[in-house]
């Protein structure tokens, strides 16, 4: 199957700092990528849809100025958590559509904001 990578796999930061998470499709081009957030023992919640070359579409309740998404190329989307706070601590997962026309997920990035 298709391979999606994320970097970093985990990050610890101080409250008020910004954190950038990268999502890459390694062996295919992805015009659309998705960013999800998962809290402990909860399901994945869609945050935003990232489209190459255009603005991201955010789900209701997700602050676009806090979670900046840039889909600069067909293989890379980035999520920047600006001025992170402890309540932003979560597991962030990206996904992209592969050749089999289904979504493949990255391994996730665990963010801990102190």
Partner 1 sequence: QKEVEQDPGPLSVPEGAIVSLNCTYSNSAFQYFMWYRQYSRKGPELLMYTYSSGNKEDGRFTAQVDKSSKYISLFIRDSQPSDSATYLCAMSESNSGYALNFGKGTSLLVTP
- Sole binder of partner 1 in the list 3, 13, 46, 74 (CB under 8 A): 46
Retrieve residue 112's tokens: 């801990």
3-state secondary structure of 11: strand
3-state secondary structure of 89: coil
Asked if 110 touches partner 1 (CB under 8 A), the answer is yes
Alpha-carbon separation of residue 60 from 16, 48, 57, 67, 94 (angstroms): 23, 9, 10, 13, 18
Minimum gap (Å) between residue 86 Cβ and partner 1: 19
Minimum gap (Å) between residue 85 Cβ and partner 1: 22
CA distance 75 to 45: 22
Asked if 74 touches partner 1 (CB under 8 A), the answer is no
Asked if 56 touches partner 1 (CB under 8 A), the answer is no
Q: Which stretch binds partner 1 (CB under 8 A): 12-20, 61-69, 80-88, 91-99?
A: 91-99
- Sole binder of partner 1 in the list 44, 68, 74, 76 (CB under 8 A): 44
Task: Name the burial class of residue 98, with classes exposed (0-12), middle (13-18) and buried (19+) by CB atoms within 10 angstroms of its CB.
Answer: middle
Q: Residue numbers of the site for partner 1 (CB under 8 A)?
A: 1, 4, 6, 32, 34, 41-44, 46, 49, 91, 93, 95, 97, 100-108, 110
């Amino acid at each position: 199957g298709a391979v999606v990578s994320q970097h970093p796999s985990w990050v610890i930061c101080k409250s008020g700092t910004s954190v950038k998470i990268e999502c890459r499709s390694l062996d295919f081009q992805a015009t659309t990528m998705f960013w999800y957030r998962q809290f402990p023992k909860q399901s994945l919640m869609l945050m935003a849809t990232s489209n190459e070359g255009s603005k991201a579409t955010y789900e209701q309740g997700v602050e676009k100025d806090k979670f900046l998404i840039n889909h600069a190329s067909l293989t890379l989307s980035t999520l920047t958590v600006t001025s992170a706070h402890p309540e932003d601590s979560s597991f962030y997962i990206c996904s992209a559509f592969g050749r089999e026309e289904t979504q493949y997920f990255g391994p996730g990035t665990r963010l801990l904001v102190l």
